[in-house]
Structure 1
Amino acid sequence: MAKSIMKEWTDEAHLTLLKECKRKGMTDAQIAKEIIGISNTTLYSWKKKNVKILNALKKGKDFYEAEAVFTLIDTFKGHYVDEEREEIWADGEGKLTSKHKVVTKRWIEPNMTAIIFYLKSQAGWRDKALVQVNDNEEVQIVDDI
């Protein structure tokens, strides 16, 4: 029975669903339990046996990770966001005349924590300088921050 379920999940519609679940950030365990109705170990076994299932999950995950990278870049560079609010207009007597949706752009400042995270994880920055002490007790900076 398990093989027939796996075969069902190799058609285009099901593979697209798997890819979209990963694009939305779902874990394999969540997909196995909530979407397919199998155990995580069964899904792991399917990925080893069926390249279509493996590729669908990988493509979705790659997209999700790329989106996370672009979000991190926006966060450390700063960016604009659209903010919506509803304005209610009234006449001179206080009677409601109309409602309007107003969209304004707001600048989000660069996030220093995101900048530091990026520099440490991608540019090789470290918190501490590497220091070497020789026999004459002289301190030499080997690699600065």
Structure 2
Amino acid sequence: MAKGKYQEWRTPDKLTLLQAWARNGLTDEQIASNIGISRDTLYTWKKKYPDISDTLKRGKEIVDIEVENALLKRALGYEYEEVTTGLVWDKKTNDYKERVTKTVKKQVAPDVTAAIFWLKNRKPDGIDGWRDKKDVSVAANISNPFDGITTEEIKKLIDDA
């Protein structure tokens, strides 16, 4: 690693670039490769320089929120307008012009898989929990009625019965 390379990456322009890479979904390994350092060096920088660590976190948070919003939208379903365009003859110019020919309101039905995924991750516990695997523990105080009795005494009890 070139001496002082980290200083270059702490400038506003380079921090913006780091944030963009994180926002675009690059892993720490890919970001380190883009910088020209090892992943371990990037981890060291993140520990040593809060501005680098915070910048990467902010970039990743933006994408996480966008994905979260998209998943929720898909889970709930949504409406959108589909716009169709086509060439229409314009008498004034004696030429074809592209114009909106049809607008249709469409609906995307809620996605059950997205809803289940959302609930399993957002509401795993509680009375109405959505966790697949439930940890159920049963505690009981069971006493052995034959505790302290020898085998011979048990045989004698059986014979007497």
Q: TM-score range by the shorter chain?
A: 0.7 to 0.9
**Structure-to-structure mapping, 1:93-104, within 5 angstroms:** 97-100=96-99, 104=104
**Structure-to-structure mapping, 1:55-70, within 5 angstroms:** 55-70=54-69
Spell out, residue by residue over 1:66-119, the C-alpha distance to the aligned partner (whole angstroms, 9 max, x if none).
Answer: 11111111111112345454412248xxx9622235665432211100111111
3-state DSSP of counterpart to 1:98 = strand
Amino-acid identity (%): 39
Q: Which residue of structure 2 aligns with residue 52 of structure 1?
A: 51
Length-normalised TM-score, structure 1:
0.73
**Structure-to-structure mapping, 1:131-142, within 5 angstroms:** none
Q: Which residue of structure 2 aligns with residue 39 of structure 1?
A: 38
CA contact (8 A) 1:82 1:105 kept: yes
Q: Residue 63 and residue 96 in structure 1: after superposition, are their counterparts in 2 closer, same or farther (change >3 A)?
A: same
Structure 1 unaligned blocks of 5 or more: 136-145
How far apart are the structure 1 equivalents of 2:8 and 2:137?
Answer: 62
RMSD (Å) for aligned C-alpha atoms = 2.9
For these two proteins, the number of residue pairs brought into alignment is 130
CA contact (8 A) 1:47 1:54 kept: yes
Q: Which residue of structure 2 aligns with residue 4 of structure 1?
A: 4
How far apart are the structure 1 equivalents of 2:72 and 2:20?
Answer: 23
Q: Residue 6 and residue 128 in structure 1: after superposition, are their counterparts in 2 closer, same or farther (change >3 A)?
A: closer
Q: Which residue of structure 2 aligns with residue 126 of structure 1?
A: 131
How far apart are the structure 1 equivalents of 2:37 and 2:100?
Answer: 45
Bigger share in strand: 1
CA contact (8 A) 1:88 1:96 kept: no
How far apart are the structure 1 equivalents of 2:81 and 2:40?
Answer: 43
Q: Which residue of structure 1 aligns with residue 152 of structure 2?
A: none
Q: Which amino acid aligns with 1:20?
A: A
CA contact (8 A) 1:78 1:107 kept: yes
Q: Residue 16 and residue 86 in structure 1: after superposition, are their counterparts in 2 closer, same or farther (change >3 A)?
A: same
**Rg larger in 1 or in 2?**
2
Length-normalised TM-score, structure 2:
0.67
Post-superposition offset of 1:30 = 1.4
Q: Residue 132 and residue 57 in structure 1: after superposition, are their counterparts in 2 closer, same or farther (change >3 A)?
A: closer
Q: Residue 84 and residue 14 in structure 1: after superposition, are their counterparts in 2 closer, same or farther (change >3 A)?
A: farther
Q: Residue 31 and residue 106 in structure 1: after superposition, are their counterparts in 2 closer, same or farther (change >3 A)?
A: farther
Post-superposition offset of 1:12 = 0.7
Structure 2 unaligned blocks of 5 or more: 125-129, 141-161
How far apart are the structure 2 equivalents of 1:129 and 1:29?
Answer: 36
